[in-house]
Amino acid sequence: MLIILLEERLVLILYLKNINPFVRQSLITHLNHNNEKDIFVKLKTYDHRLFYILSDKGNIIIDDKTYPLEYGSIILFQSGTEYMWQLENDNELNFIAVNFDYTHDFSHIKHSMHPIHSNNFDAKKVLENIEFEDTKMLNGPIITNKISSFDKDIRNLSTEFTIKAEYRDELLSSIMKSLIIKIIRSKVIGTTNPNKNYKFVKKIIEYIQNNYTEPLTNESIAEYFKTHPVYLNRVFKEYTNKSIHAFILNYRLSAACILLRSEDLPINQIASSVGYTDTIQFYKMFKKHIGVTPKQFRLNAPSENSQDI
């Protein structure tokens, strides 16, 4: 880590492996024509931003370039970047907004930092001026389409932010670093790896994520993709180091953990909602792989509903 003086600004030279993000805010929010101070005006922020779009009726303009938004669009940029939201007709734009720093140097500043009109922006108040040495693309805005598992991870980020449980900041930092790396990996692989098997595995993962509540087997997935189950599993394991069966199991249990933490549903209903028709089997798998029973997990986990939002 190195700090230099560049154009009368202190600039922190950083490597991706050394980031330790501090998540200042992570909330699901929306924009409509009542938000006159936030739409159709040029804005800048004093900390960094990540947006995950939950609807597809608008645009974002960054550095005078217009990007149409759709469900799953991801936008990442550093503080001081000029941007502007555009809405289509009377539609509402829904998204998850994450305010963050790449380091913990300003973690004592807990309050949310609202965007500032570009004309009133004071560059001296920017919390971090970051220059990435190894991942140059992070020095500019990144806009990309939906990434596998990103939806679950960023919603988990918002849930953890709301819960305010012990070691929350450490967990948020870990999740945020993972999300940033996924964005970088998606951009790099998307431009450098034309391997059809990699793209095939991404489609399998997306299919599982969209259908994990249904009965899934290697045979049913292979039938959907019109291929042989043995070939399907071999290619999947080559790129993920997991069998399809293990991936589905882990994904279902992760989804169950989120529900046990954030919902008051009966455990048998949670089991059913993540793809288990047999509650006893759900208990058995949960205890084996999580280490405690679903009931014990729920008792030891803070409830999202018990916290102030």
Is 193 a residue whose pLDDT tops 60?
no
**188 plus 200 within the same structural domain:** no
Residue 308: what pLDDT? Answer: 28
Res. 208: pLDDT tops 70: yes
Q: Is the pLDDT of residue 189 over 90?
A: no
Tokens of 81: 């970047």
Same domain flag for 14 and 94:
yes
Q: Which of 143, 163, 192 is the last residue of a domain?
A: 192
Residues 36 and 153 in one domain: yes
Is there a single domain that holds both residue 113 and residue 253? no
Contacts of 160 (CB under 8 A, 6+ apart): 26, 168, 171, 172, 175
Indicate which CATH number applies to the domain containing 111.
2.60.120.280
Q: Alpha helices of the chain — where are they, by DSSP H?
A: 150-163, 168-192, 196-211, 218-224, 229-240, 244-262, 267-273, 279-290, 294-300
- Reported confidence tier of residue 303, pLDDT bands at 50, 70, 90: very low
- The CATH number of whichever domain residue 234 belongs to comes to 1.10.10.60
Same domain, 122 and 29: yes
- Cα distances (Å, whole numbers) of residue 145 to 76, 176, 178: 12, 18, 17
**23: closest CA among 212, 124, 170?**
170
- Region 85-93: what's the mean pLDDT? 83
Between CA 178 and CA 18 the distance in angstroms is 13
Same domain? 15 vs 161: yes
Find how far residue 164's CA is from the centre of its chain.
18
Q: How many domains does the chain have?
A: 2
The span from the CA of 226 to the CA of 249, in Å, is: 23
pLDDT tens for 14-43 read 999 999 999 999 988 888 877 766 678 899
Domain shared by 152 and 205, yes or no = no
Q: With pLDDT > 90 as the criterion, what percentage of the chain qualifies?
A: 53
User: Are 118 and 262 found together in one domain?
Assistant: no
Of 42, 22, 30, 62, the C-alpha closest to 144 is 62
Whether 155 and 271 map to the same domain: the answer is no
Residue 21 and residue 102 in contact, taking contact as beta carbons nearer than 8 Å:
yes
Is the pLDDT at 309 greater than 60? The verdict is: no
CB 260 within 8 A of CB 301: yes
Q: In this structure, are 64 and 176 located in the same domain?
A: yes
**Cβ–Cβ < 8 Å for 237, 243:** yes
Tell which of 132, 158, 192 closes a domain.
192
Q: Domain limits at 296?
A: 196-306
Q: Is residue 43 domain-shared with residue 187, that is, in the same domain?
A: yes
Q: At which of 192, 213, 247 does a domain end?
A: 192
73 and 108 fall within a common domain: yes
Per-residue pLDDT at 31:
84
